[in-house]
A and B are shown apart, each in its own frame.
Chain A
Amino acid sequence: MIGDPLFDAESIAGRVAAIGEAISRDYAGETPLMIGLLAAAATFMADLARAVTIPCQLDFIAVNKCYDGDGITLEKDAAIPVEGRHVILVDDTVDTGLTLQYVVKRLLERGPASLAVCTLLDRPHRRIADVEIKYRAFEVPDVFVVGYGLDYLGRYRELPALYAHGSWPA
């Protein structure tokens, strides 16, 4: 179901290094708090953290996206207080932007000094919530992407590159 990579490991490493450099420059003299959205952003966040050359702190949050429930909620919250911090929210894919906006709102309620969004993939085709993305590694067309932390029904997260899957989960 997957063929040649959309973006191979070398391309990903290049983009991660460039974003790491940009973050190091933009936040020079600060200790930003990088918050990753579990689980798909974990791989990207781990590489990004090592590409940043300034001190930073890492944390993770998770959202409950089971839509048969009572609506979106934070399933796992950040352990490090956000108030007064320069926060970089690290996402794997921005599609409609609705999940990202939900998380951004929850974090802004806590009074961070600033909040920027960094995403591995930007898929703008279905964008509804126009959340500002400060750092993006790749823009992708309307394809389902797996690998480098992104899964299809739990598979392919371990792959070192990004691939277009032949179908979307039913």
Chain B
Amino acid sequence: MATSRAPFAHSSEAELARLFDFYRIPWQYEPRSFPIVWNEQGRPVEFFTPDFYLPEYDLYIEVTVAKPVRNTRKNRKLRLMRSHHPSVNVKLFTRRDVERVFSRLRRAS
């Protein structure tokens, strides 16, 4: 199992890692980049790197801390990702999603 000490880009990623640790779910941080845009020569020029991979569920999770109105760039990447890699499961978690998951844990504690 990975630990919560990976060099996370922001606190919501660290929180989500703590959640996975809490449930003892193996996770990997940014283990793979997927090409999403190619140039005319067929070489990949843009990639999408989901934040987490959960091997147990074969699921990638991308965490966004931007407000929904500013998510245009990330949504475009996700759209391209799903279009070019339809068999890869990717789920988007917003900062609000992370907060709400933890609010349920605190509520029960």
**Residues on A close to B: CB < 8 A?**
63-68, 71-72, 95-96, 98-99, 102, 125-126, 128-130, 142, 144, 151-153, 168-170
Complex: A46 Cα to B27 Cα, angstroms? 38
A67-B103 CB under 8 A given contacts A102-B23, A126-B97 = no
* Residues of chain A lying within 8 A (CB to CB) of residue B109: 64-68
A-B contact pairs, 22 of them (CB 8 A): A64-B109, A66-B105, A67-B102, A67-B105, A71-B22, A71-B23, A71-B24, A72-B23, A95-B101, A95-B104, A98-B25, A102-B23, A126-B93, A126-B97, A126-B100, A128-B59, A129-B57, A130-B57, A144-B100, A168-B100, A168-B103, A170-B103
Does B106 sit at the interface, judged by CB under 8 A? yes
Contact B54 A128 (CB under 8 A): yes
Complex: A125 Cα to B91 Cα, angstroms? 10
- Shortest CB distance A28–B (Å): 35
Most buried by B among A95, A128, A151, A168: A128
Does B19 sit at the interface, judged by CB under 8 A? yes
From the candidates B24, B102, B107, name the one contacting A153 in the complex (CB within 8 A): B107
* Residues of chain A lying within 8 A (CB to CB) of residue B54: 128
* Residues of chain B lying within 8 A (CB to CB) of residue A170: 103
Secondary structure of the B contact surface, majority rule: helix
Complex: A145 Cα to B24 Cα, angstroms? 27
Name the residue on B nearest A40 (C-beta): B108
Contact with A along B61-83 (1 / 0, CB 8 A): 10000000000000000000000
Contact B105 A65 (CB under 8 A): yes
Contact A169 B107 (CB under 8 A): yes
Does B46 sit at the interface, judged by CB under 8 A? no
A96-B103 CB under 8 A given contacts A67-B19, A102-B23, A128-B57 = no
Contact B106 A169 (CB under 8 A): yes
Contact A128 B100 (CB under 8 A): no
* Residues of chain B lying within 8 A (CB to CB) of residue A126: 93, 97, 100-101
